């Protein structure tokens, strides 16, 4: 019980720190913040991406929303493990395909989290985008997740300006205003081809980036 209290306090503290540094603004452009299971799929430019999206959600959504993240990063030391595993309750994925056990299938773990009642925050690019392009190509995980649970709202989620707050290699953040824009949800169509679906999801997220620039 004491550990749960400490974890809750740490979670509130994380939200306060994120809001103090980034003054984040949530823009619900295509969907309302209602208690419904969703998959928020976002662009990925910083290791602080999922704490930002998680923190900007209303508390009643945040308590049921779990980021999907790399276990090799978030279990690297005790502090990261505490925040990733215990505070954020991340679905931790082993990115080493060769070293995965049978029970470590990433899509199966995400589907299990959805079936348990959680929403998810995922980054379909698969790695941080350090290029000049707005978005990298999407990996296939979003397609397999959509195919497994076609009724789940897939919400494009554009994070703007966070890569300037915490550039790669830096540990001291630069206070800047960030926005998180939630677009209209998409769903996979019956029999929809993988490449067509991923291109459509990619376009939905890229369209939000143009709105952020404007």
Which residues, in sequence order, are CB contacts of 148 under 8 Å at separation 6+?
Answer: 107, 111
Question: Which neighbouring-strand residues pair with 67?
Answer: 121
| Domain that residue 34 falls in | 2-213
pLDDT score of 214:
47
At 84-122, the pLDDT tens digits run: 889 999 999 887 766 667 677 899 999 999 999 999 999
**pLDDT tier, 201 (very low <50, low <70, confident <90, very high otherwise):** very high
pLDDT score of 99:
64
The sign of the torsion formed by the CA atoms of 72, 73, 76, 80 equals negative
Q: How many helices (H) and strands (E) in the chain? A: 9, 7
At 146-197, the pLDDT tens digits run: 999 999 999 999 998 655 544 555 554 555 678 899 999 999 999 999 999 9
Here the contacts of 12-19 (C-beta below 8 Å, separation 24 or greater) are 14/51, 14/55, 14/83, 14/87, 14/88, 15/55, 15/62, 18/48, 18/51, 18/52, 18/55, 18/56, 19/55
DSSP state of 103: G
pLDDT score of 213:
53
Q: Tokens 């897939």 appear where?
A: 154
Q: Tokens 């984040």 appear where?
A: 24
pLDDT score of 73:
85
How many independent structural domains does the chain possess? 1
Which tops the pLDDT comparison, 124 or 21?
A: 124
At 16-67, the pLDDT tens digits run: 988 887 778 899 998 999 999 999 999 998 877 888 899 999 999 999 999 9
pLDDT score of 176:
61
Cα(113)–Cα(180) distance, integer angstroms: 23
Here the contacts of 71-77 (C-beta below 8 Å, separation 24 or greater) are 71/95, 72/96, 73/47
pLDDT score of 26:
93
pLDDT score of 35:
93
CATH label of the domain that carries residue 113: 3.40.1130.10
């Amino acid at each position: 019980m004491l550990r749960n209290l400490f974890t809750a306090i740490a979670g509130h503290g994380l939200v306060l720190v994120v809001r103090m540094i980034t003054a984040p603004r949530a823009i619900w452009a295509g969907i309302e913040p209602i208690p419904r299971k969703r998959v928020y799929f976002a662009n990925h430019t910083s290791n602080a991406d999922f704490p930002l999206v998680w923190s900007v959600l209303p508390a009643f959504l945040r308590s049921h929303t779990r980021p999907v993240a790399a276990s090799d990063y978030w279990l690297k030391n005790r502090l990261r493990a505490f925040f990733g595993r215990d505070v954020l309750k991340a679905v931790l994925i082993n990115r080493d395909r060769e070293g995965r056990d049978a029970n470590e299938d990433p899509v199966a773990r995400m589907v299990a989290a959805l079936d348990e009642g959680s929403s998810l925050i995922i980054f379909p690019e698969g790695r941080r985008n350090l290029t000049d392009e707005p978005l990298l190509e999407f990996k296939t995980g979003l397609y397999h997740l959509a195919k497994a649970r076609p009724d789940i709202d897939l919400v494009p989620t554009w994070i703007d300006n966070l890569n300037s707050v915490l550039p790669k290699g830096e540990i001291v953040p630069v206070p800047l205003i960030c926005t998180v824009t939630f677009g209209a949800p998409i769903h996979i169509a019956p029999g929809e081809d993988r490449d067509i679906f991923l291109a459509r999801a990619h376009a939905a997220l890229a369209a939000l980036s143009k709105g952020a620039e404007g």
